[in-house]
Structure 1
Amino acid sequence: MLDTIKVNDKTLPWLIVERGFEIPSFNFAIESEEIAGRPGSIVKSRNLKEYRFELPLIIRNDYLSHGGMKKLDDVLNEVVRFFNYDDPVKLQFTSQDWYWNAYIEGPIELDKDRIGFWSFKINVVLADPYKYAVEGTKNTAISDQVSVVSTGTADSPVIVQATALQNASYYMITKNDEDYFMIGDDDLDKTVEDYTPTLWDNEMRAFTGWTKQTASTNIDGYTGGTTGGGMMLSSSNDSFMLKQETITATSGWNGAEYKHSFGKSAQDFVSTCKIHVNQKNKGSTHFAQYLYDTDNRLIASIGYRNARASQAIGSIVITLFDQLGQQKKIYEYTNSPMFYKWDDIVIYMRLERVGTTFKIKTWKYKELEYPKRVIPVDVNEKQWEDSGKFYQRPIAAVSVYTAKNGTNYHMPTYILGSYTHEKLPKPPKARDMIIKKGDVININTQDKTVTINEDPSLDLKTFGSDFFNINSGYNECIIYPEKTFDTTVYWQDRYL
């Protein structure tokens, strides 16, 4: 049977693997040292080394091959596109149920005078020397115990997803009484309190609790514009978006704002918003989450803008407003070039105030589907000091705003969530309720990341705990505290 290869789950039907290729495995190397006067040697280490090998391939080029006869340049260009990736690719033989994470090196050399078929080799580098099962496996904990059985020949990293059934100050998962991972504090001698009570958490699945704002012009000179337009739910009913037919102006930034009052005021706070921007078709957009004081005056804006009509060069902009309405920009972070090519980008923006200190944190995800948003990218943090105490007014309301520019194409912007919490003073010997009922914890032991509701939370990792791998064979994992979490463990069997 002719075997072909897949690169990131794509194939070229006329590209096949030459018969006789030997699959490399078990690349262990022993480092030893001979000592004079002593028989044999002393073993210093045993390591699994990287692989470097040539993969022989054949290109079929005849009338019976897929697509018929092809020109040399057409074939070469297709092959280059097939292998040209900056990051490691998922390299799989179609006859096998496993794959490598591989880098591909050149050159690719084809005989310009040959007709009918070409034979050539590509250089494969396996910095990660393991094979991974194509099909992943998962198991859900029952009574805070979960059995994880790996049929591979090597240990395997895992992804742990836990949903909180009630508030908790910590989460811990153990493996075979030999290792554990933990976030938070389980010291029972410390008082447990919720030092970040919720002011308003909303997942944008309904307009209940939001009030549409009438026509006016806000004072945000970076991500603002006129208000008075309307929003609507997305087709999936999981986000707000601009209802463009409600915008009639043909110039300037015009949009819609929806507001929610907390019913109380808060001095110290943390406010987060998340949006999804579809960049496939280039265009412009404005988004902002606004915080208002008790006199209904703007005190802060947490925004994102793309002011270019034909480029996907967006920026996160965070500003503050004094009592006179004067705006001060304290943060601007432009997307790096790697994001210009992304069709979709999920952006998180956070502003925190404690005393006179403002802390800013932003991060992004490439994945749109929620369960797949596990590894945050481009995490950026900054601190700014309000030394003059010009921006100390309590907050009492929040709003979300999105706008388009004139008749220019509006880059679709979906508002996915708005979350604002009060921050109460925490005594030195106290445990914070870092996990709230409904929170989702994701732990990725391969990439060494941990998130709570997609918020990077590596700083909460307990000293001494490890991002462990499961052993080959049977593993028993226990979850603490008991009767507090629904936990599912995901893994892929790994082979030497």
Structure 2
Amino acid sequence: MNFKYGGKEPPSWLVVEREFKLPSFHSVSRYQDNEGMNGSQFVENTYSSMEFKLPLIIKNHYYTKSFDDIIKDLANYFRSNEEQILEFDFSNKRLLCKIDGPYEIKPHVRGFGIIELTVKSSRWYYELNGEPNKDSFINGQLTTYNAGIKTPPVQYIKVKEDATILSINNETTGKSVVFGKEVSDANMLLQRNMGVLNAYASDIFNGWPNIAEKTALPVVGTAKGKYTSKDNVMFVDTFGDRIGMSDWFGPAKYKQLDQRVSGNWEFECRIITPPSKNLEMGRKQFILLDELKKPVAVIEARNQSTMNNLIEVIMTLYNENKSKQVLYYENAGWRQQGLVLKLTKTENKYTAYVGVDYNVITGMRYSTHTGRYIRTFDDYAGDYKRALVFVQTQDLRAPNYDPMKFNTSYAKVQQLAVESESPYIFSSGDELVIDHDKHLLTINGEPKYHKSLKSDYFDIVQGENIITVNPPSIIESGYQAYRERYL
């Protein structure tokens, strides 16, 4: 029987012994019966060895050479610093492995020699040569059952007709990817300014009261005691229960964006915190509002203690009675600093960012951030997808304490045009391959990157996974193939 190692044909005098059979690497499950329980309890999976002997025959005419010459030729053929593919003409499986000695040749009564070499593999699977062990899409849907025996599948999709959209979804995990005009990493975000809110003002937005100004403003807040208005107070908060929604938007000042911002967007602001002082407490909030002036997100910086000089940044998404805190950041070693705060929405993903710049004296605009803190949230349920129409700012203080003055050097809202929003015209014959094991997407043989194709999309959970392709009419043919896993 013939074989290849590392893509090279063996010497003509070397063949595999006819009786050799490739070991099975499928797992065997063990169960045990327990008294007082119906059925059996799973205990463990066991696997065949990752190491086996490969018997090779040295043909008669070459066996007449000296053993030293034969061993030298064998070592030269099998020598490799890395694992190589071993394949046989009697099997469609290819194994990544290394082959070592001992190089001990045993004579056979029929005049040829036999040597048993050791095959060792550190890999988790056989690779398949050909297309066995696969399932086909039926009406754009197939079932992947993951029992831990096989590697995650590779999905192959061939496009039948021109189409403007294609989505591949795992209905079980809720993970999905939608393909658009380009799926390369270049120019993924085309930023278009949708209204810079009086950027780089000396303190707060033009036309909005400056907390440092001596302007008498009404007290607005939750009634936990009696508070009196002070000249430099915009709002009052007890720092207990958050101010109610109706109280937020009564006399509050807000600015309407140049136009309604839907889809993907980014809010960014720069806050300058003052030097730490005792007996000062306060917070600054930026509230992103929809057309009904209901909050979509709140970006907040605050100091709630006069003792530990702790600065906190919180970013929270809102929708009616739902809320989701995306980021909580704190810095106990507080000193005067600049904080760049960003909240970005790209498709189903929210990214919250805090960039800290302690050198607030020079420039304060896009200085190098000496500290970065990032958190993300995937809104697959679509709970927080409302458009932005207004932005509100407010400064709050604790009662009986002087207000902490968080100055704003700029704030802006940008529309983010993700490339996938533009229609991609798939052509007949386009081929997509999604490898859940290698976390790789290729289109017509070229590796691609897509912002919605996050690493967790490739996860295949234990049990049944329902994979759908929409629209199903786009598929000329589609299937998924597996490799056998033995560990």
Q: TM-score range by the shorter chain?
A: 0.3 to 0.5
Q: Which has the larger radius of gyration?
A: 2
